Each structure stands twice: as C-alpha cells, then as structure tokens.
Structure 1
C-alpha cells in the first residue's frame, strides 16, 4: 500500500468513525428506510475509498452530504430504470420472462448504458436507444422523433462518440 493510499484510508476511517451514524440518520430521513440508509451510507464510504487522492475535507459533514447525495441520486436513477424495465417486461408473455439472474444483469446493463449517455440531450438518447435497442432504421427514427435524416445521423454519431470516449477512458471498462 502506497503512502497516499494509507493517508486516504486513515482519512476515510476517521470520517467513518466520526460521522457514519450521522450520515446514516441523514439518509434514513431522506429515504424513510433504515436498511436502505445503511446500504447507501456504506456505498458512500466505498466511493471515498475508491478515490485516487486524499480527501482533506475541511467541512466533513458537508463533504459527506455531497458524496451521499450523488450516491442517493444514482440509487433513485437505478430504481427508475429498473421500474421502467419491469413495466416493459410485464407486457411480455410469461415464457419470455427472464430468470432473476438475467433480470439483474439486464438492469445493470441498462444502468451502465444510462450512465454512458448521461449529459446528452433527451432527443439524442432517444435516437440512440431506438437504433440500438429497437433496431430502428434512420428513417424510422427520423419519423418517430420528427427530425431529418441528417439530424438522426448527427445524433447517433454524438451518442456513439460519447460511449466510445467514456469506455476508452476506463469509466466502464
């Protein structure tokens, strides 16, 4: 373990012992569930441990709140994605229903795709998803979104470029 890693671990340990109970309570008030709050408090500290540099938080609770809000946002976003997928799969015939393991893999993949497309305009995301998930042609996408073929091509190029660069920098590798 490098000296920077040791410093980071000591900082996280200090934050954990001093503020874990407070953070768990803060999350419990936001979520209304002590179990989920405990899980997300744990995820918050794991996120801190994954950092590459020391924390050096002058206002520890404000810092933890900021990190926890990001974890909470990711949690809520994942729930939205999972619910949308469950709504879609509920319309499938029973024999096509995936196993619990397949469901977990599919939801995780959808969450990763959502993260890859994060920051793109809604129309660009829709065009990309229509092409990639529904297999829609450029003409079908143009008709669905009421845009030109040239715009469809630009949107798909933009979304593909964002995915490529996110993968190339190791965000999801």
Structure 2
C-alpha cells in the first residue's frame, strides 16, 4: 500500500485546496446543479429522444449507450465495493461534503463515469457536439470534487471507466449492426 500513499497525499492536498477557500459555499451551489445533470435522468431522456426522433442513428445510439452502461455499471459496483475508499470528509475534519452521496465509497466516481460514457457516445454519433459533451462531463467530474464527495483520482478513474466502457460498446455495436 505504500506505493499509493503519495497519490493519497496528493488527493487530500488537492481536495483541501479546492474546498479550503471562503467561496466554497457559493461554488458548491453551482456544483450541486452541475452534478444533478449527471444523476442519470437526462441520459435516459436523451437516449429515448434520439431513438425516437433520429431515424439515421437513433437505434444505434440507444443500443451503444445501453450496452456501455451494461458494461460500466457492474465494473463500477465491483470497484466501489472492492476498494472501499473512504470519502474525502472522512480523511480530514477540514473537509466538508456539501451533499450526501448515494453510496458509501468514493472510488470510482459513478457520476463522472456515466458522464464520460455519454459524452463519448454523443461525440461518436454527433461529432459537432463532441467538445461540448466532453466539457460537460469534465464539469460533472469537477463538481464532484468541489462538493467534497470525491478525490481527484476518483474522478480520473471514473472518466477512464466511462470512456473505455463506451468505446467497447461502440466497437461491438458498430461491428454487429
């Protein structure tokens, strides 16, 4: 475990930097709104809307997103319950979470994984929206840090999980259909 101690120290220092300023309550209000856009409801609405209204790629978009989530969610659950990494506020009394997370552990960030998964799917089928979708996903990841419920590495690993799950799903769906 000594090999990850420098990463854990960096994570804690970064969280203290992000949350240790006098504007953190104001930043948390904006971050809470951004984070809510990644709760999952919009993904379902987007997927169904594209499926119903885009005759060109709607079914492929929906199939790729559905498969990507079928890949991502079990890995996310297994990782959370294997690593059992405590959330930032459990490491220091100087850190405060601005929301109550839906589960106990922090690694990986599920909001970030889902956001990057959707951004990758969106970017593949709608290249003109790729940059905006990735920026939105990055904002969701940042919001999770600024809300005090994730460390930087939780977000980075969540992003990698989402990107890779989406890429695997896209490769499969595009090869089969």
Please tell me the TM-score bracket, short chain as reference. 0.3 to 0.5
Q: Normalising by the residue count of structure 2, what TM-score does the alignment of the two structures yield?
A: 0.32
- Structure having greater relative contact order (Cα 8 Å, sep ≥ 6): 2
Q: Normalising by the residue count of structure 1, what TM-score does the alignment of the two structures yield?
A: 0.33
